[in-house]
Amino acid sequence: MSILFSRIAYLSSTYTIEQGSVLIEGDTISYVGPDDPRTDPRRTLGDVQEISGTGRLLLPGLYNIHTHIPMTLLRGYAEGLPLADWLNTKVFPFEALITPEMALPASELAIAEMLRFGVVGFTDMYNFTRERAEAVRSSGIKANLSYGPVAFDPEQRYDDMPHKAEVEALVNDYHGSCDGRLRFDIFVHSEYLSNPHIVRAVGLQARELGVNTHIHLSETQAEHEEAKQRRGGLTPTQYFDSLDFFAQPCTASHAVWTEPEDWQIMAAKGVTVAHNPCSNAKLGSGIAPLAGMLAAGVRVGLGTDSVASNNNHNIFKELYTAALLAKARELDASVVGPEQVLSMATIRGAQSQGRANAGRIEAGAAADLVLLDTSGPWMYPVHEQLNNLVYSAQGSDVLMTIVDGEILYSHGEWKTIDVERAVSGTSKAARDIVAAL
């Protein structure tokens, strides 16, 4: 069945609000324009589900490009601590008790939350890859899942770790599966939980397998400055670049303490920064230099990080917070306009995942769409709808989330996820872990 949005306002590829029709046939947008495509004699349409656009706005699907979905188990658990204490005293002991049986419902719950807030694709870094992959497969969402080594030993060799063979098996099993919805990346957790042998070897494996990479980068000031001491004055960005890690497309999360020289490297090497403004603020890590990175030509997308450090996967909060904090950091209300943050949440996120045919509303693009209710009192008056989208719209305004032409969430109903079961399983697992600590 085709889906026709009639008399609908939609966000165009040039970030203007247009009015007309948007037709989905199969997994592709087949028509965008002012006319009713049903009147075109060249088209042969079967059953068409028509959705009226009155009081609604159609957006390209949103992307959340830095998550740790099984960490849904830790929502609200570790609060009020800086990153190092948060990890070592609370998160790592809790994570040591997570089992695959616990990771599955937590992953399903995270995906349900993202679909509720208009996310059509996410980029995830964690263990329990087969459970995460099953949650992606069954839910219908798009994802780049990553797995990789964590090493405390400066002499640890990647060839001696089980991760190398595991990564190859996971790439063989999952990369490009689910009709292309599921892609596979390799992660190096960070400069401080790896070593030069591992960084170089993972970068080489990524090139050999033809997959992307994912890292944490300069998240805190201490991490950034201590890395410079360890690496002969090189920043984490310069260090990874010196080891040829950026030869493959890389998503570098946080980048809060990066420097102008780093931005030049990232722009030249096509690195995408996953900007996580809410998580960065909540952990007291700082405010990333978003305006500077964008001005330097760095590709930037948006991420929520885990709900352990953010407490939700509501990408609309990231839109709002990214725009506000950029202005606060620069003491300049003119920096980082609505078009920029909307592109970060849509096409830049899609590009970071290697999805060249997504992130925009135009004929021939993937049918990944979000239907937004714009009839609420907080959305009026409309002097400029883009401003309302970034500064006034709420995640709860999402009425429908469509991935590859399939309606996965609509008006309070999840079509592919048993949310009640996911809530029950995640809650029980969290209680069991806390009791065992």
Q: Does residue 292 sit in the same domain as residue 172?
A: yes
> Do 137 and 278 belong together in one domain?
yes
Residue 84 is predicted with a pLDDT of 86
Q: Beta strands 250-254 and 212-217: pairing type?
A: parallel
Q: How far apart are CA 184 and CA 45, in angstroms?
A: 36
Same domain, yes or no: 215 and 132 = yes
Give the whole-angstrom CA distance, residue 119 versus residue 133: 17
Tokens 């991490």, located at residue: 223
The pLDDT tens digits for 199-230 are 999 999 999 999 999 999 999 999 999 999 99
The answer to whether residues 194 and 257 belong to one domain is yes
Any domain includes 56: yes
DSSP 180: G
Question: What pLDDT score was predicted for residue 1?
Answer: 81
Domain with residue 26: its CATH number is 2.30.40.10
In a domain, 220, yes or no: yes
Positions in the chain short of pLDDT 50: none
307 within domain boundaries:
yes
Residue 197 lies in a domain: yes
Same domain (yes/no): 302, 373: no
Taking the whole predicted model, whether its pTM rises above 0.85 is answered as yes
For residue 236, report the phi and psi dihedrals to the nearest 5 degrees: -55, -40
| Whether residues 144 and 188 fall in one domain | yes
Is 422 inside a domain boundary? no
Q: Which domain holds residue 392?
A: 2-60+358-414
| Same domain, residue pair 56 and 112 | no
292 with 382, same domain?
no
Same domain, 344 and 397: no
* Domains of the chain: total: 2
Q: For tokens 């839910």, name the residue.
A: 139
pLDDT of residue 82: 84
**Do both 341 and 252 map to the same domain?**
yes
Q: Going by C-beta distance under 8 Å and a sequence separation of 6 or more, which residues neighbour residue 69?
A: 106, 107, 110, 111, 122, 124, 126, 132, 135, 306
Q: What is the pLDDT of residue 60?
A: 98
Residue 12 and residue 146 in one domain? no
Q: What confidence score (pLDDT) does residue 83 get?
A: 83
User: pLDDT by residue (tens digit) across 35-59?
Assistant: 999 888 888 788 899 999 999 999 9
14 and 133 co-located in one domain: no
φ/ψ of residue 265, rounded to 5: -65, -50
- Kindly state whether residue 436 falls inside one of the protein's structural domains: no
Q: How far is CA 192 from CA 76, 156, 199, in A?
A: 26, 13, 11
The domain spanning residue 250 has which CATH number? Answer: 3.20.20.140
Is residue 11 assigned to a domain?
A: yes
Scan for tokens 């009226």, then name that residue.
Answer: 52
